[in-house]
């Protein structure tokens, strides 16, 4: 499948590399198609190429947005409404604001979310919020952790969520029982707000490699 991964940071790099190893053709989208740092690691992996946000979005059947939260809407603007229309957009980004001196906060939350903003601006795009609640190592290899743990999804398009689940099962090894559907795209509020706990837990556990398992009565 032709996949776009928008964002050249650790998350984009991990997802793109994993998908390339699964024989997908992956174009990394960057603001600068000659980004020297990105060129270096992309050049080492077969099936990976580098393009602008617009080129990557146009190329792809399915798109991951893995930029910093502050870069998400600008990157999608450069990708272009036409190239995003009708495609599945997996939104992995988090609206983190590191500009305050004391500690990270979110630049949108509570009564809105970054995923909802995307869905409002690109109504024809099938936005699925997922993977944003965990470290990229666990995203592409859930068995890094022992025992069951969960992955949340939210989105308005039921079919898109089914496609994403199957894609994450086939390529990353998630299992059908690991998914928890938080409902429509407003469910992204709770998934994005969970990042505040994620940061705090990282600090407590001194390790970003963990995930949540929802425990119910047997």
List interacting residues with a second copy (CB under 8 A).
100, 103, 105-106, 109-111, 144-149, 152, 180-183, 186-187, 189-191, 193-194, 196-197, 199-201, 203-205, 207, 209-218
Q: Shortest approach of a second copy to residue 140 CB, angstroms?
A: 15
Q: Shortest approach of a second copy to residue 6 CB, angstroms?
A: 26
For residues 181 and 111, the answer to whether their CB atoms sit within 8 Å is no
- Which C-beta is closer to a second copy: that of 25 or that of 105? 105
The DSSP output letter for 182 is -
Candidates 109, 72, 111; CA nearest to 90 is 72
Q: Shortest approach of a second copy to residue 134 CB, angstroms?
A: 10
Residue 36 burial class via C-beta count within 10 angstroms: exposed 0-12, middle 13-18, buried 19 and up: exposed
Handedness of CA 77, 80, 81, 84 (dihedral sign): negative
The DSSP output letter for 153 is E
Q: Shortest approach of a second copy to residue 133 CB, angstroms?
A: 9
- Which C-beta is closer to a second copy: that of 166 or that of 209? 209
- Which C-beta is closer to a second copy: that of 78 or that of 180? 180
- Which C-beta is closer to a second copy: that of 103 or that of 159? 103
Q: Shortest approach of a second copy to residue 80 CB, angstroms?
A: 31
Other Cβ atoms closer than 10 A to 2: 14
Q: How far is it, in rounded angstroms, from Cα 4 to Cα 65?
A: 8
- Which C-beta is closer to a second copy: that of 12 or that of 187? 187
């Amino acid at each position: 499948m032709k996949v776009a991964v928008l964002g050249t940071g650790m998350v984009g790099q991990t997802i793109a590399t994993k998908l390339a190893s699964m024989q997908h053709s992956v174009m990394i989208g960057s603001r600068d198609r000659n980004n020297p740092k990105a060129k270096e690691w992309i050049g080492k992996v077969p099936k990976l190429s580098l393009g602008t946000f617009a080129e990557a979005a146009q190329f792809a059947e399915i798109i991951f947005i893995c930029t910093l939260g502050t870069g998400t809407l600008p990157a999608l603007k450069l990708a272009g409404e036409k190239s995003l229309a009708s495609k599945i957009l997996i939104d992995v980004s988090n609206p983190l604001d590191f500009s305050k001196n004391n500690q990270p906060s979110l630049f949108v939350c509570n009564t809105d979310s970054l995923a909802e903003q995307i869905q409002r601006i690109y109504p024809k795009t099938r936005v699925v919020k997922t993977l944003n609640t965990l470290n990229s190592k666990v995203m592409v290899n859930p068995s890094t952790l022992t025992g069951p743990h969960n992955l949340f999804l939210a989105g308005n398009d039921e079919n898109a969520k089914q496609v994403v689940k199957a894609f994450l099962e086939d390529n990353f090894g998630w299992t059908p029982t690991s998914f928890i559907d938080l409902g429509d795209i407003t469910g992204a509020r709770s998934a994005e707000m969970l990042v505040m706990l994620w940061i705090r837990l990282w600090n407590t556990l001194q390790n970003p490699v963990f995930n949540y398992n929802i425990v119910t009565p047997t």
